[in-house]
Amino acid sequence: ILNVEQSPQSLHVQEGDSTNFTCSFPSSNFYALHWYRWETAKSPEALFVMTLNGDEKKKGRISATLNTKEGYSYLYIKGSQPEDSATYLCASMNSGGYQKVTFGTGTKLQVIP
Amino acid sequence: EPEVTQTPSHQVTQMGQEVILRCVPISNHLYFYWYRQILGQKVEFLVSFYNNEISEKSEIFDDQFSVERPDGSNFTLKIRSTKLEDSAMYFCASSGSTGWGTQYFGPGTRLLVL
């Protein structure tokens, strides 16, 4: 059973602050790493899919990096806004079951105006 | 913008009853998934489906579960004899032409087994 961990579990930041959180995943047989943004009462929304070591992806004020050798990914939010408040999920796909997705528990972000 | 839809949004059933959860994936997508989230727990992978057959399934997806794509648009999850512990939010997702690519989630079906 793969173990995908996210930290912190939750955090509160002031509007305008930048923040980041971590996803760690098994580095063996790695295939892809997904980040999702999940607002309350909605469905998870895909942010990024990363596959290569050193990948960096950016979408507006949100960016992510990937280190497949050590098994971690960082998600960064620059200048947090109240609308960024959500749970951010990462999910790992490892080959030998490459479509079998293992989710982390998520990081719940609250941006205080 | 195309989206994944799911019906019903909520379902209440008695233990031992069969339920069918329905999903309409995005029309040109080739890979389909079911996930569930029991309240307070992680989102869990159940099954992936490609080319009209199951491509991966988790330990949760036992003989009580089955999936079908009956008509080229719907993708269904059947639970034959529901248990109390099947109470969860069930999400369907679909992705395009690669099995590892971006997955688009539906709004979920909240299943309550009494």
Whole-angstrom distance, CA of residue B47 vs CA of residue B59: 10
Give the gap in angstroms from C-alpha A13 to the nearest C-alpha of chain B: 23
Whole-angstrom distance, CA of residue B44 vs CA of residue B66: 16
CB within 8 Å: A103 and B55: no
Give the gap in angstroms from C-alpha B16 to the nearest C-alpha of chain A: 28
User: How many C-alpha atoms does A41 have within 13 Å on its Cβ side?
Assistant: 0
pLDDT-derived band at A12, boundaries 50, 70, 90: very high
Is the CB of residue A74 less than 8 Å from the CB of residue A22? yes
A23-78 confidence digits (pLDDT tens): 999 988 888 999 999 998 888 999 999 999 999 999 999 999 999 999 999 999 99
Distance (Å) of CA A98 to CA A30, A33, A36, A60, B7: 8, 11, 18, 29, 28
Interface test with B, best of A39, A43, A52, A68 (most B CBs within 10 A): A43
Q: What is the pLDDT of residue B4?
A: 95
Q: Which residues, at least 6 apart from A39, have a Cβ–Cβ distance to it below 8 Å?
A: A45, A85, A86, A87
Q: B44: which chain A residues are within 8 Å (Cβ-Cβ)? A: 103
Q: A32: which chain B residues are within 8 Å (Cβ-Cβ)? A: 100
pLDDT at A2 exceeding the cut of 80: no
CB within 8 Å: A91 and B43: yes
B20-74 confidence digits (pLDDT tens): 999 999 998 999 999 999 998 999 999 999 988 998 899 999 999 999 998 878 9
CA-nearest residue to B39 within chain A is A105
